[in-house]
């Protein structure tokens, strides 16, 4: 996990915690304690994610219209989570890597009386079918290729003969 510091450098933070929820809580708390916010955590498995989705999250959080932003994925998880600051309990009892992760996190936000901004749905790459979808998107969409040039090059190099 990394975040830029005030001088424009990168500050690396070690992830700590038993599960993804504890690690997310930890990095949010550490970054917020260092004066960062709002915070946006993005999965690395959505390489063609449109930047406008992330901009919407940051605008909603920074503008005070939402306390939490979640980007749902087709498999029931999410590609990004944004928070205005620490949100103790947001990731409690979430069944990670299941079709219930998004709904459970959204329920936690409601229980904590946090205003939720739902971002447009997207997909992440977890299965061979997801990888096929990514390859098809990159083959058909020049904008996607511009958003994920390294991913595109790697896929072409490794799947060129199929």
Specify the length of the chain in residues. Answer: 162
Residue 5 in this model has a pLDDT that exceeds 60: no
Residue 69 near residue 61, CB atoms below 8 Å: yes
Could you give the C-alpha distances from 98 to 44, 76, 78, 94, in angstroms and in order? 17, 7, 10, 9
* Cis ω before 38 (30° cut-off from 0): yes
31 CB contacts (<8 Å, ≥6 apart)?
A: 3, 13, 37, 39
| Strand partners for 116 | 68
Q: What is the DSSP string of 144-161?
A: HHHH-HHHHHHHHHHHTT
Q: Using one digit for the tens of pLDDT, what is the confidence trace for 24-56?
A: 999 999 999 999 899 999 989 999 999 999 999
Residue 41 near residue 68, CB atoms below 8 Å: no
Q: Using one digit for the tens of pLDDT, what is the confidence trace for 8-24?
A: 566 777 788 889 999 99
Among 95, 48, 96, 106, CA closest to 72: 106
What is the maximal distance between C-alpha atoms in the chain? 52
pTM here?
Answer: 0.88
Among 156, 158, 135, 159, CA closest to 48: 135
Q: Using one digit for the tens of pLDDT, what is the confidence trace for 53-98?
A: 999 999 999 999 999 999 999 999 999 999 999 999 999 999 999 9
């Amino acid at each position: 996990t990394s975040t830029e510091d005030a001088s424009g450098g990168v500050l690396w933070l070690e992830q700590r915690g038993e599960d993804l929820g504890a690690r997310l809580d930890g990095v949010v708390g550490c970054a917020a304690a260092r004066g960062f916010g709002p915070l946006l955590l993005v999965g690395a498995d959505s390489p063609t994610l449109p930047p406008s989705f992330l901009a919407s999250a940051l605008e909603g959080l920074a503008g005070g219209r939402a306390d939490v932003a979640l980007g749902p994925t087709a498999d029931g998880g999410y590609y990004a989570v944004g928070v205005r600051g620490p949100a103790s309990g947001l990731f409690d009892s979430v069944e990670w890597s299941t079709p219930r992760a998004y709904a459970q996190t959204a329920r936690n936000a409601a229980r904590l009386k946090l205003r939720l901004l739902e971002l447009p749905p997207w997909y992440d790459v977890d299965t061979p079918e997801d990888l096929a979808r990514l390859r098809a998107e990159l083959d058909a969409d020049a904008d996607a290729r511009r958003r994920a040039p390294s991913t595109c090059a790697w896929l072409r190099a490794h799947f060129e003969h199929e």
